[in-house]
């Protein structure tokens, strides 16, 4: 078999066979196929696409290129969750504990922030002492004991994806539905869960800006999961506004804890209950309305909060911050930004809000940058709320006072106030399963 023939075949719109995909992935990982040939193939895929079977085969091959976590010794149906990334998305910190409190084990590998979007690992590391690098045996032991553990992806999960992603990043080949879907799902398959719930964000703060694109990505990922023997469903959720009021690591942990204590912004609570209920459904805990009730009980009874607290203890963190979140790291400089005129909040450029939080220190401009855990933004008002000129809109937090002016300017630009109230905020747009798309 020759790589050049595989490139030709895809260039002409052919479907690659299992043997061809294996030849490509194994050869590339072993250094036998050079970057330039793989780049040519990736570009051909960008233009010609891949059918559902090819995409599922590619995903399986990438998942098999490294370690595959074996969760069989943990009793019950293990359900994973993946979010395509957003601003203020602290749902894993709330949903994981709710699901675990309902008796469904959650053994989750999470990622770090990327671009304007935050990452669960960075949020967890805002808790003093919390360890996200945990030996596989210990990870499984924590899940067996507590039903919940969230750690960083081990180095050897889907190494073929790591190598391909780095190449895609510099060859203009990131934007391809089969390549994005297979990249995400290869890591999910390798993480070993029996079922997967995908939270596909849509809107100005999301990777996919339109509902059509988000549904297409969700369908592609659901198809990959199902073809690889995992029950998979996706919810399309709103990322046209930041999720909750807090954006930034310690601020988001605080909001997650408040939500688990029964407070927190209502839309955040609602979306977390929906995500948890859908995970419980995938774990065969009953029909969706019943699962929603189970999730609500776990939240209201405080059982979910207990799960989070226990995970913090077992992973070496200071659990006193769960009891008293004011003990979380705080940034020394703050600035209150006020509404410039009267009106309803009708638009929040969510990507820009994410960028503001990064400028303040909550994210990284380069991979090796350190995070300022206390940095970020805390809204005083949300979408649809009416403000008068001078009312507090948001507080900026940072350890770098020189960033405050630019952050304030960008934030004012990101928020639009209008005399007319906007349409009601929609939290959920659709549920995607192997049966199709159900509008919500």
Q: H or E segment at 101?
A: helix 91-101
Distance, CA of 106 to chain centre: 15
Q: What whole-number distance in Å separates Cα of residue 238 and Cα of residue 88?
A: 12
- Residue the block writes with tokens 């607290």: 309
Least distance from C-beta 179 to ligand URA, angstroms?
6
Q: What whole-number distance in Å separates Cα of residue 310 and Cα of residue 292?
A: 23
Write out the two tokens for 401. Answer: 């006072």
Residues 55 and 178 sit within 8 Å (Cβ to Cβ) = yes
DSSP 3-state of 86: coil
Q: Nearer to ligand URA by C-beta: 165 or 344?
A: 165
Site residues for ligand URA, 92-121, by CB under 6 A, read none
Least distance from C-beta 283 to ligand URA, angstroms?
24
Q: Nearer to ligand URA by C-beta: 215 or 321?
A: 215
Residue nearest to ligand URA (CB): 183
Q: What whole-number distance in Å separates Cα of residue 240 and Cα of residue 258?
A: 23
Least distance from C-beta 363 to ligand URA, angstroms?
16
Site residues for ligand URA, 169-228, by CB under 6 A, read 174, 179-180, 183-184
Number of residues that bind ligand URA (CB under 6 A): 6
Q: Nearer to ligand URA by C-beta: 7 or 157?
A: 157
Q: Nearer to ligand URA by C-beta: 269 or 350?
A: 350
Q: Nearer to ligand URA by C-beta: 126 or 184?
A: 184
Residue 36 Cα distances to 9, 30, 39, 163, 410, angstroms: 17, 15, 5, 13, 40
Least distance from C-beta 327 to ligand URA, angstroms?
33
Least distance from C-beta 168 to ligand URA, angstroms?
7
> Across the beta sheet with 376-379, what order do the strands follow?
246-247, 376-379, 392-398, 333-338
Q: Nearer to ligand URA by C-beta: 168 or 431?
A: 168
Q: What whole-number distance in Å separates Cα of residue 311 and Cα of residue 99?
A: 13
DSSP 3-state of 381: coil
Active site residues: 82, 161, 168, 183, 187
DSSP 3-state of 365: coil
Least distance from C-beta 169 to ligand URA, angstroms?
9
Residue among 203, 111, 222, 120 at smallest CA distance from 161: 111
Q: Nearer to ligand URA by C-beta: 220 or 310?
A: 220
Site residues for ligand URA, 330-389, by CB under 6 A, read none
Q: What whole-number distance in Å separates Cα of residue 158 and Cα of residue 169?
A: 17
Q: What whole-number distance in Å separates Cα of residue 41 and Cα of residue 325?
A: 50
Least distance from C-beta 183 to ligand URA, angstroms?
3
Q: What whole-number distance in Å separates Cα of residue 417 and Cα of residue 344?
A: 5
Q: What whole-number distance in Å separates Cα of residue 257 and Cα of residue 304?
A: 10
Binding mask 130-169 for ligand URA (x = CB under 6 A): -----------------------------------x----
Write out the two tokens for 391. Answer: 């009312």
Counting contacts by CB under 6 A, is residue 79 touching ligand URA? no
Residues that bind ligand URA in the complex, under the rule CB under 6 A: 165, 174, 179-180, 183-184
């Amino acid at each position: 078999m020759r790589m050049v023939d595989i490139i030709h075949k895809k260039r002409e719109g052919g479907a690659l066979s299992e043997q061809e995909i294996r030849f490509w992935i194994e050869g590339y990982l072993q250094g036998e196929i050079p970057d330039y040939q793989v780049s040519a193939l990736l570009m051909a895929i960008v233009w010609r696409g891949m059918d559902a079977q090819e995409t599922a085969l590619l995903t399986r091959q990438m998942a098999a290129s490294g370690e595959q976590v074996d969760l069989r010794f943990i009793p019950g149906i293990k359900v994973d969750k993946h979010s395509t990334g957003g601003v203020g998305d602290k749902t894993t910190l709330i949903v994981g504990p709710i699901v675990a409190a309902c008796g469904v084990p959650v053994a989750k590998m999470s990622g770090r922030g990327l671009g304007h979007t935050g990452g669960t690992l960075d949020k967890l590391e805002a808790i003093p002492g919390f360890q996200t690098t945990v030996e596989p045996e210990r990870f499984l032991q924590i899940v067996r004991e507590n039903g919940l553990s969230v750690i960083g992806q081990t180095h050897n999960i889907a190494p073929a994806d790591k190598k391909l992603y780095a190449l895609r990043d510099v060859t203009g080949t990131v934007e391809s539905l089969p390549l994005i879907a297979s990249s995400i799902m290869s890591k999910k398959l390798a993480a070993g869960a029996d079922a997967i719930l995908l939270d596909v964000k849509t809107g100005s703060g999301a990777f996919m800006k339109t509902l059509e694109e988000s549904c297409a990505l969700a369908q592609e990922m659901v198809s990959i999961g199902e073809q690889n023997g995992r029950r998979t469903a996706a919810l399309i959720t709103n990322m046209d506004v930041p999720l909750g009021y807090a954006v930034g690591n310690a601020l988001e942990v605080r909001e997650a804890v408040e939500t688990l204590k029964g407070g927190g912004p209502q839309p955040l609570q609602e979306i977390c209950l929906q995500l948890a209920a859908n995970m419980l459904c995938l774990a065969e805990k009953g029909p969706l309305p019943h699962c929603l009730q189970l999730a609500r009980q776990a939240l209201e009874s405080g059982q979910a909060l207990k799960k989070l607290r226990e995970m913090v203890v077992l992973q070496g963190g200071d659990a006193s911050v769960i009891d008293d979140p004011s003990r979380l790291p705080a940034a020394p400089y703050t600035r209150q930004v006020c509404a410039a005129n009267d009106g309803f909040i009708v638009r929040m450029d969510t990507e820009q809000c994410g960028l503001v939080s990064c400028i303040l220190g909550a994210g990284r401009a380069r991979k090796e940058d350190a995070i300022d855990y206390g940095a970020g933004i805390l809204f005083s008002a949300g979408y649809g709320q009416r403000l008068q000129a001078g009312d507090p809109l948001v507080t900026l937090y940072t350890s770098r006072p020189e960033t405050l002016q630019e952050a304030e300017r960008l934030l004012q630009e990101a928020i639009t106030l209008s005399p007319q109230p906007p349409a009601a905020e929609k939290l959920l747009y659709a549920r995607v399963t192997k049966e199709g798309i159900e509008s919500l």
